[in-house]
Structure 1
Amino acid sequence: MALAPALDLDWQTAPRDPAAWLARARQVAEVLAVDAAARDRAGTAPHEQVKILKDAGLVTVLGRPEHGGGGQSWATALRLLREVSTADGSVGQLLGYHYLWAWAVRFFGTPEQIDEFEERYTRANLFFGGAINPRDKDVTVTDDGDTLRLNGRKSFASGSAVSDLTCLMGTLPDGRPAFVIVDSNTPGLVYNHDWDNMGQRQTESGSMTLTDVIAPWSAAIGYRDKQIAPLVYNSLSLLTLQLIMTNLYQGIAEGAVAEAGEYTRTTTRPWPYGGDNKESASEEWYILEAYGDFRSKLWATAALIDAVNDELSQLLHAERESVTMDQRGHVAVRISAAKQRIIKDGLEITTRIFDVMGARSTSARYGFDRFWRNLRTHSLHDPVAYKQREVGRFQLLGEFPEPSFYT
Structure 2
Amino acid sequence: MSTTEPTTTRWERRPDTPEGWLERARDVAALLAVDAVERDRAGATPHAEVRLLKESGLVRLLGPVEHGGGGQRWDTAYRVIREVAKGDGSIGQLLGYHYLWAWAVRLVGTDAQIDAVEQLYTENDLFFGGAVNPRDSDVVITDEGDEIVYTGRKSFSTGSKVSDLTVLEGVLDGTDDHIFAIVPSDQEAIVYGDDWDNLGQRLTESGSVEIRGVRVPWESAAGYVDKRFQPLVYNTLNTPTIQLVFTNFYLGIAQGALDAATAYTREKTRPWPYGGDDKDSATEEFYVLDTYGDLQAKLWAAEALVDRAGQRIDGLLHAERDSVTAAQRGQAAVLIAAAKERIVQTGLEIATRIYEVTGARATANSAGLDIFWRNLRTHTLHDPIAYKRVEVGRYALLGEIPEPTWYT
Normalising by structure 2, what TM-score? 0.98
2:208 and 2:149 map into 1 onto residues whose CA distance is 19
Letter in 1 for 2:78: L
User: Is 1:50 aligned to 2:47, yes or no?
Assistant: no
Cα distance, 1:393 vs structure 2? 0.6
Distance 2:144 2:35 in 1: 48
Residue matched to 1:187: 188
- The RMSD of aligned alpha carbons is 0.9
Counterpart residue identity of residue 393, structure 1:
R
* Residues 1:198 and 2:231 aligned together: no
- Which secondary structure state, in structure 2, belongs to the residue aligned with residue 279 of structure 1? coil
| Partner residue, 1:288 | 289
Partner residue in 2 for 1:255: 256
Residue in structure 1 matched with residue 144 of structure 2 by the alignment: 144
Secondary structure of 1:103's counterpart equals helix
Q: Distance in 1 between matches of 2:332 and 2:211?
A: 36
Alignment of 1:310 with 2:311, yes or no, is yes
Letter in 2 for 1:49: E
State yes or no: 1:99 paired with 2:96: no
User: 2:154, 2:210 within 8 Å by CA — same for their partners in 1?
Assistant: yes
Report the Cα offset of residue 200 of structure 1.
Answer: 0.4
Q: How many matched pairs?
A: 404
Inter-partner Cα distance in structure 1 for 2:213 and 2:324:
37
2:332 aligned with 1:331, yes or no?
Answer: yes
Amino acid at match of 2:197: D
Letter paired with 1:94:
L
Q: % of aligned pairs identical? A: 58
List gaps (5 residues or longer) in structure 2: none
User: What does residue 78 of structure 1 align with?
Assistant: 78
Report Cα offsets for 1:41-100 as digits up to 9, x if no partner.
111111100000000000011011101000100000000000000111100000000000
Q: For residues 62-73 of structure 1, what are the structure 2 equivalents within 5 Å?
A: 62-73=62-73
Q: Which residue of 1 aligns with 2:32?
A: 32
Counterpart in the other structure of 2:269:
268
Alignment partner of 1:270: what SS? coil
Deviation at 1:7, TM superposition (A): 4.1
Deviation, structure 1 residue 150: 1.2
Q: Where does 1:85-124 land on structure 2 (aligned, <5 Å)?
A: 85-124=85-124
Structure 2 CA distance for aligned equivalents of residues 375 and 61 of structure 1? 25
Letter in 2 for 1:81: I
- CA deviation profile, 1:260-279 (whole Å, cap 9, x unmatched): 11100000100000011111
CA offset digits 1:205-250 (Å, max 9, x no partner): 0000011111222321111111110100000010001000000110
Distance in 1 of aligned mates of 2:352 and 2:2: 32
Name the structure 2 match of 1:134.
134
Q: Is the Cα contact below 8 Å between 1:5 and 1:31 reproduced in 2?
A: yes
- 8 A Cα contact 1:150 1:213, kept in partner: yes
CA distance in 2, matches of 1:61, 1:147: 32
Is the CA contact 1:5–1:52 (under 8 Å) kept in the aligned structure 2? no
- The residue that corresponds to 2:60 in the other structure is 60
On the 8 A contact 2:160/2:207 being kept in 1, the answer is no
1:366 offset after TM fit, Å? Answer: 2.0
| Local SS of the residue matching 2:149 | strand
Structure 2 SS opposite 1:213: strand
User: 2:244–2:336: 8 Å Cα contact kept in structure 1?
Assistant: yes
CA distance in 2, matches of 1:7, 1:77: 27
Asked if 1:159 corresponds to 2:159, the answer is: yes
Residue 238 of structure 1 corresponds to 239
Quick one: distance in 2 between partners of 1:147 and 1:112?
A: 18
Contact kept, 8 Å, 2:254 with 2:347, in 1: the verdict is yes
Match of 1:230, SS state, is: coil
Structure 1 stretches (4+) deviating beyond 3 angstroms?
Answer: none
Alpha-carbon distance between aligned partners in 2 of 1:262 and 1:218, rounded to the nearest angstrom: 54
Amino acid at match of 2:16: R
Paired amino acid for 1:226: K
Who is 2:385 aligned against? 384
Shift of 1:123: 0.4
- Which blocks of at least 5 consecutive residues in structure 1 are unaligned? none
Q: Which amino acid aligns with 2:3?
A: A
Match runs of 1:165-176 below 5 Å: 165-173=165-173, 174-176=175-177
- Distance in 1 between residues matched to 2:142 and 2:165, nearest whole Å: 21
* Cα deviation, residue 365, structure 1: 1.5
C-alpha distance after superposition, 1:161-192 (max 9, x if no partner): 11000001111012211111100012210001
**Aligned-partner Cα distance in 1 for 2:266–2:367:** 15
TM-score, length of structure 1 as denominator length: 0.98
8 A Cα contact 2:45 2:205, kept in partner: yes
> Match of 1:371, as an amino acid?
F
Tell me by how many angstroms 1:347 deviates. Answer: 0.5
Instruction: State the 1:5 CA deviation.
Output: 5.6
> How many angstroms apart in 2 are the aligned matches of 1:40 and 1:5?
16
Distance in 2 separating the partners of 1:275 and 1:246: 42
Contact 1:108-1:234 at 8 Å conserved across structures? yes
Q: Is the 8 A contact 1:149 1:212 kept in 2?
A: yes
Letter in 2 for 1:313: D
Which residue in 2 is equivalent to 1:178?
179
- Whether contact under 8 Å (2:28, 2:52) holds in the other structure is yes
Query: How has the CA–CA distance of structure 1 residues 395 and 319 changed in structure 2, closer, same or farther, with 3 Å as cutoff?
Result: same
Kindly indicate whether the alpha-carbon contact (under 8 Å) linking 2:2 and 2:34 is maintained by their aligned counterparts in 1.
no
Instruction: Report the equivalent of 2:405.
Output: 404
